[in-house]
Structure 1
Amino acid sequence: MVSSQEKASGGAQKLRRVLSLTSFKDIRNAFSSMGYSMGSPDFPRVTLLILAMNIIINIAELVNPPLKHHFGLIPQEVSRIRNLHTLLSAMYLHADIFHLLSNMFVLIVIGSECERAIGSLHFLLLYHLSGIGGNLLHTLIFSNSLVVTLGASGGIFGLIAVFGILFPTRPVVAFYFFLPIMMPAFLWALFYFLFEIFYQLIGGAFFIAHMAHIGGFLTGVSYGLYLKRQRYRKYWFSAY
């Protein structure tokens, strides 16, 4: 049994870990190392804003754990047209620090490149539509579930899909079963998608919403193909 004092101490330690890993200076240096300047037009402002919001909200979540239940997605509630705001709010809550950091790492690395390529407004729409799309598919498949669903993974998988569409031949180092493998971005994104389908078919892990990942990816593919078609249309008409 864990006493309330020990719980409070554990929460304080988690809070210090988050703050030590996410100072503004550390974030600025991370973006600078990728070739971005704070004042440049292509600086990924929306990526940084989403990152900051996730950190702030998850600090609040550590201080006030019931936030998970008030703003997390409960499929049965949404399927009954209640608490629809949780389709969005659940994207900014995470189960633990590892869940948060893994999603934010992909957001920084992949998101910044996507935002620079498609612009801040399209990036904002892509990220949130993918997250909502993932949550909707999860709700549709598990409409009677009372398990709270949390995380930005739907939005992250949407970014992975668009990254694979926009930069199909860019080399990416992926880790499968702890082995580093270099492959084109398109193949990397496709493998992620196929793995999620495989995990869902075999039952997956009960604490991972694979259908939200699949829904986010499919939403990202739809948005990415739309953007690519618009880009080709722009080039076609500008040539005449």
Structure 2
Amino acid sequence: MEFSITLAIIVATSLVSWLGFNNEALKGALVLWPPAVTRRHEYHRFLGYGVVHADFMHLLFNMFTLFFFGRLMEGFYAQYLGAMGFLWFYLSALVVSALPSYLKHRDDPDYVTLGASGAVSAVLFAFILLRPWETLLIYFIPVPAIIFAALYTGYSVYMNHRQADRINHSAHLAGAAYGVLFTVLMEPKVVSHFLAELMNPGG
């Protein structure tokens, strides 16, 4: 069977997350705790926070999404960046999606964030550039990808402004924006492809 970077990421993330569910020391060493970066220069946390999750449902949702959209994007990036292109994209998305949280909370000892949601958002939004009318099942409800993108972005902006829950909405937004920007800079023709697809919903 052909090696899949997407599956390798899912296996590694699931394994570390599973170990972290019962090992607070391991989880604590990997989560993005901004003061540890600012004061102790623990830069590994910009990647480590993406392989640990709060609970099984958090992990399942992220890995389920990555499984369905990562494999197609893996092949797409390989055309331009080589066999490891998707891995570099995914890892860089983890870093970029964490930056707004880090910059805002760099000296806040009470703030931590974890999970692969930012990088998964980058993968999903890059996919939407290629197939905006693809049907996504959101809680078993079929929704066109472009409609989901609009609703997801609006909801994330609203909730990020309210700050009424513990979900890192800024990571979702930064990851989504990075997925779009990275893909467009890598292949500018994606823009014309996206617009053509957008004007042809039945195609």
TM-score (norm 2): 0.82
Unaligned runs of 5+ in 2: 192-203
Q: Deviations over 1:186-210 (max 9, x none)?
A: 33223222211111112231x2111
What is the aligned counterpart of 1:193 among 153, 156, 167?
153
Q: Distance in 2 between matches of 1:133 and 1:204?
A: 23
Q: Deviations over 1:13-49 (max 9, x none)?
A: xxxxxxxxxxxxxxxxxxxxxxxxx34xxx6x00010
Task: Tell me which of the two structures has the higher relative contact order, counting C-alpha pairs closer than 8 angstroms and 6 or more residues apart.
Answer: 2
Tell me which residue corresponds to 2:126: 162
Taking structure 1 as reference, are residues 115 and 204 closer, same or farther at Cα in structure 2, changes over 3 Å only? farther
Give how far 1:56 is off: 1.5
Tell me which residue corresponds to 1:55: 14
Give how far 1:51 is off: 0.6
Give how far 1:231 is off: 6.7
SS at match of 1:66: helix
Give how far 1:143 is off: 2.3
What is the aligned counterpart of 1:68 among 9, 13, 27?
27
Q: Distance in 2 between matches of 1:204 and 1:110?
A: 29
Taking structure 1 as reference, are residues 160 and 231 closer, same or farther at Cα in structure 2, changes over 3 Å only? closer
Identity %: 27
**Preserved contact between residue 118 and residue 174 of structure 2 (Cα < 8 Å):** yes
Q: Distance in 2 between matches of 1:204 and 1:225?
A: 33
Q: Deviations over 1:163-200 (max 9, x none)?
A: 1112223233334xxx82422x2332232222111111
Q: Distance in 2 between matches of 1:194 and 1:188?
A: 10
**Preserved contact between residue 62 and residue 116 of structure 2 (Cα < 8 Å):** yes
Q: Deviations over 1:72-117 (max 9, x none)?
A: 1112332446211100111101111111111111010111121122
Q: Distance in 2 between matches of 1:194 and 1:81?
A: 36
Unaligned runs of 5+ in 1: 1-37, 233-240
Letter in 2 for 1:152: A
How many residue pairs get matched? 186
Q: Distance in 2 between matches of 1:187 and 1:141?
A: 30
**Preserved contact between residue 92 and residue 152 of structure 1 (Cα < 8 Å):** yes
Tell me which residue corresponds to 2:93: 130
1:1-240 equivalence runs, <5 A: 38-39=1-2, 45-80=4-39, 82-119=41-78, 120-146=83-109, 147-175=111-139, 180-183=141-144, 185-205=145-165, 207-229=166-188
**Highest CA radius of gyration, 1 or 2?**
1
Q: Distance in 2 between matches of 1:81 and 1:215?
A: 25
Letter in 2 for 1:195: Y
Identify the range of structure 1 (138-147 vs 217-226) with the bigger mean alpha-carbon deviation. Answer: 138-147
After superposition, the CA RMSD in angstroms is 2.1
Q: Distance in 2 between matches of 1:208 and 1:101?
A: 16
Taking structure 1 as reference, are residues 122 and 143 closer, same or farther at Cα in structure 2, changes over 3 Å only? same
TM-score (norm 1): 0.70
Give how far 1:57 is off: 0.8
**Preserved contact between residue 196 and residue 213 of structure 1 (Cα < 8 Å):** yes
